[in-house]
């Protein structure tokens, strides 16, 4: 017997990527950034007036909203802050999907989306990406009856992006809210922020976890028309962003040049890794994110284990359509060189 609501008792919950304890493993499994955050963030942490913690933080994280709005060229009324973008995704389900209501999301994609649907008691409406993992042309038709449609662009775990015109088409044709999860957009060639001026039903979310090297801080940003933000503002916890996070996030957003320099290095390593793995006989999907999605010349599940014994933790998903692939986060230059040397050795030894 469970005391929980039936839809909670029934589900397993979300399984985050492993955070190894104690073992010396090179972490290439959760798309963290290998480089440190901006020195301005580290200064803000050192100089944080700890005695102020006796007070509540600014409820709406106004300073963060303003810094983000300035960076994205939008109004601060168009920004909502979350305790990571995962918190914003929860707010999305609670704001826009009734219990029993339809929730559409692309598949394969971020494995949290269906879990959030189960928690909310929503009707899951997965929309299959096409054979190249692209958003299908008729996505709106496939999502008929849903009130919220979430996709990741660039997609995770596949790493590819899809034509922006497909997003516009969906915004035009889908009568509910279209949410573009842009957790990896800083690593991509383009993004959907400029579409906000055309579509009152569009939300674009970002995070400081990946490109800003701040996964441990927990700060996500949702950008949309002021009317949509105002609805979600009613749903979030009153103080969902703590005072330290607000101070550090403002410092990070004001020094986006430091983020861009790290992104430049990661993109260069990504392309190098892609061509080296291709030369070893792997199929590597084009990536616009800080990871690559790789079909190795031997069973992925087995290679995942072998790599682990060699000290490299990557991500394997035993799920339909992607069970033959490994997702490899881009680490620093030395880690990537060591990773490639190990792969070369394993593939030539047929191990």
Ligand X SMILES: Cc1ncc(COP(=O)(O)O)c(C=O)c1O
Does 29 interact with ligand X (rule: CB under 6 A)? Answer: no
CB of 110 vs ligand X, minimal distance in Å: 4
Does 222 interact with ligand X (rule: CB under 6 A)? Answer: no
Unique residue bearing structure tokens 């088409």? 169
Phi, psi of 205, deg, nearest 5: -110, 145
Does 211 interact with ligand X (rule: CB under 6 A)? Answer: no
| Closer residue to ligand X, CB minimum distance, 88 or 243 | 88
To 10 degrees, the CA torsion angle through 246, 247, 253, 254?
Answer: 150
Structure tokens, 122: 């929503």
Interface residue with ligand X, options 34, 37, 108, 220 (CB under 6 A): 220
Interface residue with ligand X, options 37, 44, 80, 86 (CB under 6 A): 86
Contact indicator for 144, 175 with CB cutoff of 8 Å: no
Rounded Cα–Cα distance for residues 59 and 44 (Å): 20
Does 110 interact with ligand X (rule: CB under 6 A)? Answer: yes
Does 288 interact with ligand X (rule: CB under 6 A)? Answer: no
CA atoms within 13 A on the CB side of 322: 26
| Closer residue to ligand X, CB minimum distance, 69 or 150 | 150
Helices 243-254, 39-46: inter-axial angle, 10-degree rounding:
150
Does 276 interact with ligand X (rule: CB under 6 A)? Answer: no
Segment holding 223, helix H or strand E? strand 220-224
Interface residue with ligand X, options 64, 127, 178, 183 (CB under 6 A): 183
Interface residue with ligand X, options 26, 31, 246, 287 (CB under 6 A): 31
Interface residue with ligand X, options 74, 80, 93, 156 (CB under 6 A): 156
Q: What is the largest CA-CA distance in the chain?
A: 61
| Closer residue to ligand X, CB minimum distance, 316 or 343 | 316
Structure tokens, 230: 């105002």
| Binding range to ligand X, per CB under 6 A, among 66-74, 83-91, 94-102, 129-137 | 83-91
Does 209 interact with ligand X (rule: CB under 6 A)? Answer: yes
Q: Of the candidates 144, 143, 110, 160, which has an alpha carbon nearest to the alpha carbon of residue 284? A: 160
What does the binding site for ligand X look like in residue numbers (CB under 6 A)?
Answer: 31, 84-86, 110, 152, 156, 181, 183, 207, 209, 215, 220
């Amino acid at each position: 017997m469970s005391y929980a609501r039936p839809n909670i008792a029934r589900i397993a919950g979300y399984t985050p990527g492993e955070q190894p304890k104690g073992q010396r493993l090179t972490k290439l499994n959760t798309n963290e950034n290998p480089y440190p955050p901006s020195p301005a963030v580290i200064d803000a942490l050192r100089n944080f007036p700890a005695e102020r913690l006796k007070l509540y933080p600014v409820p709406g994280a106004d300073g963060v909203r303003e810094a983000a709005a300035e960076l994205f060229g939008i109004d601060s009324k168009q920004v909502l802050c979350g305790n990571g973008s995962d918190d914003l995704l929860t707010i999305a389900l609670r704001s826009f999907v009734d219990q029993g209501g339809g929730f559409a999301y692309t598949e394969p994609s971020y494995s949290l989306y269906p879990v959030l649907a189960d928690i909310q008691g929503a009707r899951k409406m997965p929309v299959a990406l096409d054979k190249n993992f692209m958003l299908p042309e008729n996505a709106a038709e496939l999502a008929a009856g849903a009130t919220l449609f979430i996709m990741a662009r660039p997609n995770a775990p596949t790493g590819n992006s899809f034509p922006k015109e497909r997003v516009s088409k969906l915004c035009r044709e889908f009568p509910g809210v279209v949410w573009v999860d842009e957790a990896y957009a800083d690593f991509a060639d383009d993004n959907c922020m400029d579409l906000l001026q055309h579509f009152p039903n569009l939300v674009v979310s970002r995070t400081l976890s990946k490109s800003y090297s701040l996964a441990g801080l927990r700060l996500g940003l949702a950008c949309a028309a002021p009317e949509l933000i105002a609805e979600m503002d009613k749903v979030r916890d009153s103080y969902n962003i703590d005072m330290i996070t607000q101070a550090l996030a403002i410092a990070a957003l004001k020094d986006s040049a430091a983020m861009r320099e790290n992104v430049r290095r990661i993109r260069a390593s990504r392309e190098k890794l892609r061509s080296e793995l291709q030369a070893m006989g792997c199929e590597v999907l084009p990536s616009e994110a800080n990871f690559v999605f790789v079909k190795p010349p031997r069973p992925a599940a087995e290679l995942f284990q072998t790599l682990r014994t060699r000290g490299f933790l990557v991500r394997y998903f035993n799920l339909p359509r992607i069970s033959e692939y490994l997702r490899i986060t881009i680490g620093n230059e030395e880690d990537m060189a060591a990773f490639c040397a190990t792969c070369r050795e394993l593939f030539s030894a047929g191990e």
